């Protein structure tokens, strides 16, 4: 049984379909990359001990991870144009496995960062391929698939901080080794993904004639997603360190990080039903407005451990519903979605990088205020997209 109810003879030639086990495997990949992305925040203090670094220097691991992701998006995008989707998934998973194994064995900071770069490289390929594949599925049920798939990311991000508590932060090489093994296993489970390459897509060639009309929409959403990723990665990467600086234990920081991603997973699993009751625009704009309030609450020490899980719940729908918003403005524009995912990785570098700078100047107490500023800018950017009307494909 395929993920689309449309008969095969009536589907566009490049519409993506999943056999049930393949969609489950795809959700498993989301879980893996969520787990990997949530590793670094709770481990920053452990990095300082193992590699004899300052805290801002240890924060470079998160930035290097997203630099790798930024570079990984480009080959992932080109691969989607020339290769079947499942081939891109396999190559990206093997890259994650290589980097994770290297990180588990590295005893020098430079070698560790190189390995983290390769993990990010694979993450970038997976992020663009997974979201592009889901955005190319049938419109019927697309919001559900985007929400459920990205909820898997949140589930993985919950699991990993809890594993850190169980294994103990100083034994983090074991966690990286486990990620490598899981990536290898998942690389064998993508046979049920039907995703032809995009190079011959007639509709995409028609859309290319509309680039002048699409450009302001695309630029607006690119900036909005850069800011969103800066919020998500900045919060996930620095909340545990902020809490540690406020006097909470490392384990407490890991639990709060898990709470943040639990909120993210729960919120995204509700994305489909919420989309039918509200709209993609309301979910995005309302989420960002509430995020500003929650970040300001996290500035108060007694509220911080409770504010961050709530922040995850509030932010949950922004990523998938933003993609829905864009896909409704620019129907069938897989190429534009690829550009979005390519450039949004800048936020994964800029967000943690800006926070590292602010922490080095003002201390960890400035973390929630910096995230609130990003949320405010993102709200203004997404709100500016209300001026656009949907582009009909000629």
Range of the domain at 221: 14-387
Mean pLDDT per 10-residue interval, the chain, length 394 residues = 44 66 84 86 84 82 84 84 86 95 92 94 89 74 73 81 84 92 91 72 51 82 94 86 84 84 84 77 94 92 92 90 86 74 81 86 88 96 91 54
Token representation of residue 221: 């959403």
Residue 261 domain-assigned (yes or no)? yes
Residue 9 domain-assigned (yes or no)? no
* Number of domains observed in the structure of the chain: 1
Residue 62 domain-assigned (yes or no)? yes
List, in sequence order, every residue forming a beta bridge with 17; answer none if it has no partner: 194
Per DSSP, the three-state class of 175 is helix
Which residues are CB-neighbours of 82 under 8 A, at least 6 positions away? 197, 199
State the CATH number of the domain containing residue 269. Answer: 1.20.1250.20
Residue 217 domain-assigned (yes or no)? yes
pLDDT at 147: 75
Residue 5 domain-assigned (yes or no)? no
Token representation of residue 228: 């969103």
Residue 8 domain-assigned (yes or no)? no
pLDDT at 394: 44
Residue 181 domain-assigned (yes or no)? yes
Dist. CA 263–CA 313, nearest whole Å: 4
- Pick left, alpha or beta for residue 138 (phi over 0 → left; psi -120 to 50 → alpha; otherwise beta): beta
Among the residues of the chain, which ranges form H helices? 20-37, 40-51, 55-58, 60-82, 85-105, 109-135, 142-167, 172-186, 202-208, 211-245, 250-269, 271-277, 280-298, 304-315, 318-329, 334-362, 367-384
What secondary structure does DSSP assign to 46-93, as a single string?
A: HHHHHHT--HHHHTHHHHHHHHHHHHHHHHHHHHHHHS-HHHHHHHHH
pLDDT at 179: 93
- Number of C-beta neighbours around residue 210 at 10 A: 15
Residue 6 domain-assigned (yes or no)? no
DSSP code of residue 195: -
368: closest CA among 269, 202, 250, 256?
A: 256
């Amino acid at each position: 049984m395929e993920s689309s109810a449309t008969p095969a003879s009536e589907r566009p030639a490049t519409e993506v379909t999943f056999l049930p086990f393949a969609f489950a495997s795809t959700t498993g990949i989301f879980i893996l990359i969520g787990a990997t992305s949530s590793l670094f925040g709770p481990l920053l203090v452990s990095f300082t001990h193992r590699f004899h670094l300052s805290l801002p220097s240890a924060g470079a691991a998160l930035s290097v991870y997203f630099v790798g992701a930024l570079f990984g998006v480009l080959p992932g995008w080109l691969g989607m144009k020339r290769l079947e989707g499942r081939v891109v998934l396999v190559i990206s998973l093997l890259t994650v496995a290589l980097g994770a194994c290297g990180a588990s064995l590295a005893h020098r900071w430079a070698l560790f960062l190189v390995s983290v770069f390769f993990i990010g490289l694979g993450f970038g390929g997976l992020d663009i391929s997974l979201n592009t594949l889901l955005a190319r599925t049938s419109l019927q049920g697309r919001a559900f698939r985007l929400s459920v798939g990205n909820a898997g990311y949140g589930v993985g991000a919950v699991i990993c901080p809890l594993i850190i508590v169980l294994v103990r932060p100083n034994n983090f090489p074991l966690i990286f080794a486990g990620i490598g093994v899981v990536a290898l296993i998942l690389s064998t489970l993508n046979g049920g993904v039907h995703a032809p390459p995009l190079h011959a897509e007639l509709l995409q060639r028609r859309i290319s004639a509309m680039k002048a009309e699409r450009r302001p929409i695309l630029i607006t959403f690119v900036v909005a997603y850069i800011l969103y990723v800066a919020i998500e990665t900045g919060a996930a990467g620095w909340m545990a360190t902020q809490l540690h600086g406020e006097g909470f234990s490392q384990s407490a920081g890991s639990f709060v990080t898990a709470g943040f991603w639990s909120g993210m997973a729960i919120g995204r699993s509700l994305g489909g039903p919420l989309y039918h009751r509200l709209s993609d625009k309301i979910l995005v704009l309302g989420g960002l407005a509430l995020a500003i309030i929650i970040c300001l609450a996290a500035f108060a020490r007694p509220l911080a451990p409770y504010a961050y899980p709530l922040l995850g719940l509030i932010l949950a729908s922004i990523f998938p519903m933003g993609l829905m918003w864009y896909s409704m403005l620019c129907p069938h524009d897989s190429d534009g979605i690829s550009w979005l995912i390519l450039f949004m990785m800048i936020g994964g570098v800029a967000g943690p990088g800006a926070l590292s700078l602010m922490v080095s100047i003002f201390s960890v107490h400035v973390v929630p205020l910096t995230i609130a500023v990003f949320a405010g800018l993102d709200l203004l950017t997404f709100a500016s997209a209300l001026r656009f009307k949907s582009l009909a494909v000629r």
